[in-house]
């Protein structure tokens, strides 16, 4: 009998996973989806690229129609229950590959259906670092209740409570990597910051004094000392107490950005008061490296006012060795390389100094308004 030779069987992929990951980064979304389904061994490498950044926008019914678009709900479902039954159960939970996730919904009716799915998605998002939540004001309680039921946050029930909030224990495995939150609803931001070390917060709204007082506090169950980057909007005339409260509440800030939403409230006056307060109170935010003040409806600064503010910056920044950059408007920046150098005025696009507000492709954010902040 003639001898027979068996050929070694290769059960693994033809290419290493890091090579597949690099190839997937160069492909378009339809091609990534096809590659994902081509081989079960490629699933992990491709899914990390395909599901890295997810954007879900639920719009209201279109004109002449009373029906909603079901595609956003399909996306949420596919993140926790993949449509490919041949794939094993753990890899089918596609939410585990997300790094950036944005959920925008301005229809309260849709949130009754989407909020439970949102809770499931966030519960499974073990790699999520950047989260954006935008909902209507009437839907905030719905979303909070859904996130509470999924144990994503700890908030007393909006219906009836059988236990006090202090008795709840948060699961450390839920959103363990979350580091930045963006929303127009301060209640959502405040709830997500509880029991977590969030280092970046962007608040895209002008809060009233009552809600702002809840946010500017130093009491448990959150630790404001971990916050490194903060963006706020403000339009009240009494801005000196507001600035003092922000500086005192978040002592670990390194980058602070303010947005002035109207023409009638001058950003230059706000920036002048902020720089003065920083110069007078050296104990406030000792590690602050950048202060930015922008305005939605921006008007150019006159040369006379510019010279006055330039002298103001040089006078007060000597007491702030950590401060490297002061930004006013869209292209007016005072910067220095080291603590011993003088602040120099430059005319460049100021948004380049705020990558955490701009660069969505690397897991950060895109500004929803015109202007730089």
pLDDT tens profile 81-95? 765 555 555 556 889
pLDDT score, position 212: 78
- pLDDT band at 265; cut points 50, 70, 90: low
pLDDT over 90 at 113, yes or no:
no
Same domain, 150 and 23: no
Residue 83 and residue 31 share a domain: no
Residue 178: pLDDT above 90?
yes
Query: Is the pLDDT higher at 35 or at 6?
Result: 35
Residue 193 forms part of a structural domain: no
> Token pair for residue 263?
């023409």
Residue 303 falls within a domain, yes or no?
yes
Q: Annotate 160-225 with DSSP letters as a single string.
A: --SS-GGG----TTSSTT--EEEES-HHHHHHHHTTS---EEEE-S---HHHHHHHS---TT--GG
- C-alpha 214/C-alpha 87 separation (Å) is 46
Mean pLDDT, residues 288-306 taken together:
72
C-alpha atoms less than 13 angstroms from C-alpha of 130 in its C-beta half-sphere: 20
Whether 236 and 268 share a structural domain: yes
43 and 56, same domain (yes or no): no
Q: Which residues of 101-127 are buried (b: 16+ CB within 10 A; e: fewer)?
A: bbbbbebbebbebbbbbbbbbbbbbeb
Residue from 211, 218, 135, 179 nearest 356 by CA: 179
Domain finish residue from 144, 178, 212:
178
| Confidence class for position 213, pLDDT limits 50, 70, 90 | confident
Give the residue-averaged pLDDT of 264-290. Answer: 82
Whether residues 321 and 202 fall in one domain: yes
CA-angle at 119, arms to 126 and 131, nearest 5°:
55
How far CA 121 is from CA of 83, 98, 115, 179, in Å, comes to 15, 10, 10, 17
pLDDT above 70 (res 358): no
Q: By the 8 A CB rule, do 267 and 295 touch? A: yes
Q: What are the two backbone dihedrals, phi and then psi, of residue 259, each rounded to the nearest 5 degrees?
A: -120, 125
188 located within any domain: no
Residue 308 lies in a domain: yes
Domain count, the chain: 3
Average the pLDDT over each of 28-42, 63-77, 214-228 and give the range with the smallest value. 63-77
62 and 40 belong to one structural domain: no
Whether residue 240 is found in the same domain as residue 261: yes
For residues 22 and 64, state if they share a domain: no
Band of pLDDT at residue 63, cut at 50, 70 and 90? low
Give the pLDDT score at 120. 92
pLDDT at 343: 83
In a domain, 165, yes or no: no
Question: Are 58 and 130 contained in the same domain?
Answer: yes
pLDDT in tens, 22-56: 999 999 988 998 888 887 778 888 988 999 999 99
Bigger pLDDT: 253 or 235? 253
Range of the domain at 45: 15-50
What is d(CA 144, CA 139) in angstroms, rounded to the nearest whole number? 9
Same domain, 312 and 340: yes
Cα angle: 297, vertex 300, 305; to 5 degrees: 125
What pTM value is reported for the model? 0.82
Statement: residue 171 has pLDDT above 70: no
Residue 209 counted as domain residue: yes
Predicted confidence (pLDDT) at residue 329 exceeds the cutoff of 70: yes
Q: Residue 337, by phi and psi: left (phi above 0), alpha (psi -120 to 50) or beta?
A: alpha
Considering 59-63, 190-194, 265-269, 345-349, the range whose residues carry the highest mean pLDDT is 190-194
DSSP 40: G
Percent of the chain with pLDDT over 90: 18
Query: Domain for residue 246, yes or no?
Result: yes
d(C-alpha 195, C-alpha 181), whole Å: 14
Considering the chain, what is the average pLDDT of its residues?
A: 78
Domain boundary among 178, 212, 242: 178
Is residue 241 located within the same domain as residue 352? yes
Quick check: is 162 in a domain?
no
């Amino acid at each position: 009998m003639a001898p027979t030779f068996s050929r070694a069987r290769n059960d693994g992929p033809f290419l290493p996973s890091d090579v597949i990951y690099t190839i997937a980064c160069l492909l378009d979304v339809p091609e990534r989806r096809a590659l994902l389904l081509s081989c079960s061994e490629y699933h992990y490498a491709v899914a990390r690229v395909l599901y890295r950044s997810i954007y879900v926008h639920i719009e209201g019914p279109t004109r002449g129609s009373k029906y909603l678009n079901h595609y956003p709900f399909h996306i949420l479902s596919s993140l926790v229950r993949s449509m490919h039954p041949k794939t094993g159960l753990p890899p089918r939970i596609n939410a585990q590959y997300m790094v950036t996730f944005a959920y925008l919904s301005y229809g309260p009716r849709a949130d009754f259906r989407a909020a439970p799915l949102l809770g499931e998605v966030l519960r499974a998002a073990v790699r999520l670092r950047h989260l954006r939540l935008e909902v209507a004001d009437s839907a905030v309680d719905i979303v909070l209740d859904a996130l509470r039921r999924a144990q994503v946050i700890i908030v007393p029930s909006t219906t009836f409570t059988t236990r006090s909030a202090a008795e709840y224990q948060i699961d450390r495995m839920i959103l363990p990597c979350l580091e930045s939150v963006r929303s127009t609803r301060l209640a959502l931001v405040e709830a997500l910051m509880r029991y977590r070390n969030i280092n970046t917060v962007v608040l895209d709204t002008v809060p009233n004094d009552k809600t702002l007082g809840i946010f500017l506090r130093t009491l448990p169950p959150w630790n404001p000392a971990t916050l490194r980057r903060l963006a706020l909007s403000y339009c009240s005339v009494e801005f000196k107490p507001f600035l003092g409260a922000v500086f005192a509440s978040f002592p670990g800030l390194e980058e602070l950005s303010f947005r002035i939403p109207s023409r009638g409230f001058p950003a230059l006056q706000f920036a002048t008061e902020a720089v003065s307060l920083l110069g007078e109170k050296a104990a406030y935010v000792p590690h602050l490296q950048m202060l930015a003040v922008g305005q939605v409806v921006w008007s150019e600064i006159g040369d006379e006012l510019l010279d006055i503010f330039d002298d103001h910056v040089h006078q007060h920044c000597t007491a702030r060795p950590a401060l490297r950059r002061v930004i006013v408007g869209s292209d007016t920046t005072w910067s220095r390389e080291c603590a011993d150098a003088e602040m120099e005025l430059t005319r460049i696009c100021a948004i380049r100094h705020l990558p955490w507000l701009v660069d969505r492709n690397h897991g950060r954010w895109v500004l929803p308004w015109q202007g730089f902040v």
